[in-house]
Amino acid sequence: MLKTSLCLIAVAISTNTLANENNKNEYTSDQLEHVIVSGSRISENIDEVPASITVINQQQIQQHLKVSSELGSLLAQMVPGLAPNTGSSSNSGQTLRGRAPLIMIDGVPQSTPLRNGSLGVKTLDASAIARIEVIKGATSIYGNGASGGIINYITKQARSDGKPEGEISISSRFSAVKLAESGGGRIAAAVNGKLDKLSYLLTASYEENGVQRDAEGDILGLQYGLSDSETQNYFTKLTYDFDDEKQLQFSYNFYSSQQKTDLGDVTGDGNIGEKTYAIHVPLELQKQGKPQGPEGNENITLKYVDYALFENTQMTLDLYKQNIENVFFFSTALANLDEGYSGGQSVIKSDKQGARAIFNSQFDFENVTATLIYGIDALNDKTSQPLVDGRVWVPEMDMESVAGFLQTKWVIHDDIIVKAGVRNESIDLSVSDYQTLKLCKTVSQCSVPLNVRGDTINYDATTYNAGIKYNLTDAFSPFFSYSQGSDISDIGRLLRAATVDDIALIQTQASIIDNYEVGFTSQFENVRFEFALYRSTSELGTSNEYNEVTGVYEPVRAPQEIWGYEGLVNYTITEDLKLSATYSYVEGKNTEADDYLGASQISPPKATANVTWQTNDELSLAMSFLYVGDRKRFDKNAQGQYSGDQGPVSSYNTFNLSGQYNVNAKWSGYFGIENLFNSDYYPARAQAYTYGGYNIKGLGTTATLGAKYQF
């Protein structure tokens, strides 16, 4: 904790010696759609950002909530460059431009990059989110884990200036293919108000799923499944305004989502087209172990903002604490029959404590406005992956990091934007002596446990970014950007598969990602276009290779190159009828072996379309379309089968429909239909992942009916 303590002292000193931005900004709801905070850690207009940005606004979130509360499917529908939804509680394989994104709530990291379990997307209920900001491409501005970019959930603020305001919604969700046992329910409530200088917001949601059925009426397989799942989220935000310039904010978030079922899997073989599905089975054949999913993750944040620390400077200080326990499914791959273990169940545990000081100073010169964002970040992250039965699979990793950063923005003649920044990060990662776990695929096919000597590994990285955007005309605004990210993510995977007896000899080096992007935006009277080409390279990537002797997938670190393009069009057909459409393509290779990267990183081409129609003051409708294309890059192995994450992906498409009818100013009813035409398909990940139990079909036609009361 030495580094963290030193940084906390530095933060305290900084409050007396450093600075931040001028006046407190007020934005209308329309303006908020064009404002982001994630890219530079301050509020700025999208038109002044030389990079690809996606903002999912409140209306889009509410429309999707009528169909599904799963944020993974919302992000897949709205974000070009993000891989298709997995149809499960895990976002494994749902990469952003071929690399892992960092999931955040109000800038606080939710991912567990030291042992990435790919569960970060499910950390907050959609009803607590005001908007979602997605910054694409490697960035180090928030530290470790953002090799693919940032997905930042911006939570709601209190809106009422006086008496309490709020809403309550209740809905039921069920299979339209086969109703039996599929009925589920959801209730969500929110209240906000203001008492003198104190404003408050409280949201709560509880959702219980019935069984989920595919297009043939069969229950979806249970691995990372959502059948019989129970999800609850409680979020509160308290804000105290000392005056017009000084504000103290406290927020707390509790999130739990676990599958509690008496079903069991009938495991099929994806190589011969057999799906995995679930049925009622005797107790001894039911899913073993604890319920899988986040067991009760908590976040606490305390933030102080002075909007006018000096005449031209704003200051933000925050402290945060986080506790995460993500429980995984029982797996026979964690067996050791010699010691009496027929399998095992792992838990990723992560405890984070952080402190940050951010300052934003603005200076006006003749024809030039300069903005400087600078500060200090400190983080202590303790992450491990033990088994529920007490065995240690991944030992505790104790990471302490301190980073200083400077980001500059220069607006020249109101139409040329130049950005440049630097971040220097120092990381100490400590691991005690440990022994790798003996795992047996069969009685005779076992890995050999190895005693590994612990150590403290030091990482020091300086990363840079630069970009330029020229708002030449509304019809053509080109940009170019270069950004670097420093990534030591998923060290836990390397530790658990160690093949040397000293941690210092394991290939735990940080990976530096270089990201290049060029694109443009075009705005005409009723149409907006966005287009970007990108390329990212890294000298060390993390992929997996199957060891035929031990039956274990082991990490392979090799140089990688990922490239692609994406486009978006928004068309306001009439004031009441709007269309948005996207297309994205990504590809990547291990450049050392000249081999294509598998589906854990690279997704097939994706196209989406969304239409909204406000038919009159009472009725609104929305239709969404998702197309996933082919990706068939790999050959079968010597046994005539596809292996790892290299299965062929065949194209499919789905439609969703939703609508709302406003009875009066307070009451409204709504409906949503997921997979409207009952498309019978395997999601992209289910096709590409040949690991046991992943070959689960997509959700069949599923309907939601609900009502909302506002006061």
What's the rounded mean pLDDT across residues 442-471? 91
> Could you identify the residue written with the tokens 């429980």?
327
Q: What is the pLDDT of residues 306-342, one digit of tens each?
A: 999 998 999 999 999 999 999 998 988 899 988 889 9
What's the rounded mean pLDDT across residues 405-409? 95
Q: Which residues pair with 351 in a beta bridge?
A: 323, 382
Where are any strands of DSSP class E within 334-476? Answer: 347-365, 368-386, 392-412, 416-431, 434-435, 451-452, 455-470
pLDDT at 4: 41
- For residue 326, how many C-alpha atoms fall within 13 Å in the half-sphere facing its CB? 22
What's the rounded mean pLDDT across residues 297-302? 96
Q: What is the pLDDT of residues 253-271, one digit of tens each?
A: 999 999 999 999 999 988 8
Where are any strands of DSSP class E within 453-493? Answer: 455-470, 477-487
Residue 21 has pLDDT above 70, yes or no: no
Of residues 412 and 553, the one with the higher pLDDT is: 412
pLDDT at 12: 36
Q: What is the pLDDT of residues 109-132, one digit of tens each?
A: 898 999 988 888 999 999 999 999
- Give the DSSP H or E segment for 73: helix 71-78
**29 band by pLDDT with thresholds 50, 70 and 90:** very low
Give the percent of the chain with pLDDT over 90. Answer: 74
Q: What is the pLDDT of residues 39-68, one digit of tens each?
A: 778 888 888 889 899 999 999 999 999 999
**442 band by pLDDT with thresholds 50, 70 and 90:** confident
Residue 241 has pLDDT above 80, yes or no: yes
What's the rounded mean pLDDT across residues 447-462? 91
Domains of the chain: 2-710 (2.40.170.20)
Q: What is the pLDDT of residues 589-598, one digit of tens each?
A: 999 999 999 9
pLDDT at 549: 58
pLDDT at 680: 98
pLDDT at 14: 36
pLDDT at 548: 57
**28 band by pLDDT with thresholds 50, 70 and 90:** very low
Sequence-separated (6 or more) residues with CB below 8 Å from residue 605: 583, 584, 585, 628, 629, 630, 631
CA 277 – CA 693 distance, rounded (Å): 9
Residue 481 has pLDDT above 90, yes or no: yes
Q: What is the pLDDT of residues 203-213, one digit of tens each?
A: 999 999 999 99
Q: What is the pLDDT of residues 280-294, one digit of tens each?
A: 999 888 888 899 999
> Could you identify the residue written with the tokens 């506002």?
710
C-alpha distances in Å from residue 710, one per residue of 69, 169, 232, 700: 20, 9, 21, 32
CA 624 – CA 384 distance, rounded (Å): 40
pLDDT at 554: 59
What's the rounded mean pLDDT across residues 620-644? 95
Residue 613 has pLDDT above 90, yes or no: yes
Sequence-separated (6 or more) residues with CB below 8 Å from residue 575: none
**152 band by pLDDT with thresholds 50, 70 and 90:** very high
Q: What is the pLDDT of residues 173-199, one digit of tens each?
A: 999 999 999 999 999 999 999 999 999
What's the rounded mean pLDDT across residues 515-528? 96
CA 236 – CA 256 distance, rounded (Å): 15
Residue 159 has pLDDT above 90, yes or no: no
Of residues 494 and 400, the one with the higher pLDDT is: 400
Q: Which of 11-20, 103-112, 466-475 has the lowest mean pLDDT?
A: 11-20
| Cα dihedral: 286, 290, 291, 297 (round 10) | -170
Per DSSP, the residues of 578-630 read EEEEEEEEEEEEETTTTEE--TTT-PPPEEEEEEEEE-SSSEEEEEEEEEE--
Residue 545 has pLDDT above 80, yes or no: no
Contact 380, 369 (CB under 8 A): no
Residue 346 has pLDDT above 50, yes or no: yes
pLDDT at 638: 87
Q: What is the pLDDT of residues 348-384, one digit of tens each?
A: 999 999 999 999 999 999 999 999 999 999 999 999 9
Sequence-separated (6 or more) residues with CB below 8 Å from residue 585: 564, 565, 566, 605
Mean pLDDT of the chain: 90
pLDDT at 19: 34
